[in-house]
Amino acid sequence: MHLVVFDCDGTLVDSQHAIIAATEQALMSEGLALPDRQTILSSVGLPLEIIMQRHAPDADQAMIDRMLDNYRGESLRLAQQDDRGQVMFPGMRDTIAWLGAMENVVMGIVTMKSRRGLNRVVDAYDIRAYFQALKSADDGPGKPAPDLLLNCMSELNVDAEKTVMVGDTSFDMMMARAAGAYTIGVAWGYQTVEELEESGAQEIVHTPEELNRSLKVFVS
């Protein structure tokens, strides 16, 4: 049996507009300067509290808590819009369905979204049934710590050498390398190819078609 684990934001769904809007709302609520778009996106994949601490290094815990509340409130508002504040990357649902039809493959998602946010994604795009393990920021230590990926492997009884992590950030790659899994970085997400390579990506793919070819080799 092989285990294919996906990141969510920047890998399965493009949620950058919602992430930027919610981050800006959280910072503006405290009168803080707004970072540029790439600075915001470069932190995607870390636990949300750590992201807020990066944006406001001098903030005390009370301010961080308020920022988190404002971020989550804006995220919820955007999630109720017609586009749910995000769109699935073209081709990724086909990839999931293709893998889901294989008898020798199980799948998981490891994300720093909240459990509620992850549930919204898998239900909005009707992909929950394809995944045997769903791990969110509410389930344990955040990326790049390997705990959540190791939990997936343990629950599904799949060894590290038969596990592949598919993600768009250095945090995904570092998590997977720490867990002993194979790493595939996707170039359509929120960090650069150079960042993925430097953090341990063993392959870089630029399209879902390239990803499918790499996964076909891995699970064969």
- How far apart CA 144 and CA 176 sit, in angstroms, is 8
pLDDT tens column, 202-213 = 999 999 999 999
pLDDT at 16: 82
Residue closest to 41 by CA, chosen among 12, 9, 8: 9
Predicted confidence band at 44 (pLDDT cuts at 50, 70, 90)? confident
* Domains of the chain and CATH, by start: 2-14+87-219 (3.40.50.1000), 16-79 (1.10.150.240)
SS3 40: helix
Over the stretch 153-197, which tens digit does the pLDDT of each residue have?
999 999 999 999 999 999 999 999 999 999 999 999 999 999 999
Predicted confidence band at 17 (pLDDT cuts at 50, 70, 90)? confident
CB 200 within 8 A of CB 174: yes
In the chain, the percentage of residues whose pLDDT exceeds 70 is 98
Categorize the per-residue pLDDT at 82 as very low, low, confident or very high, splitting at 50, 70 and 90.
low
CA-to-CA distance for 162 and 175, rounded, in angstroms? 16
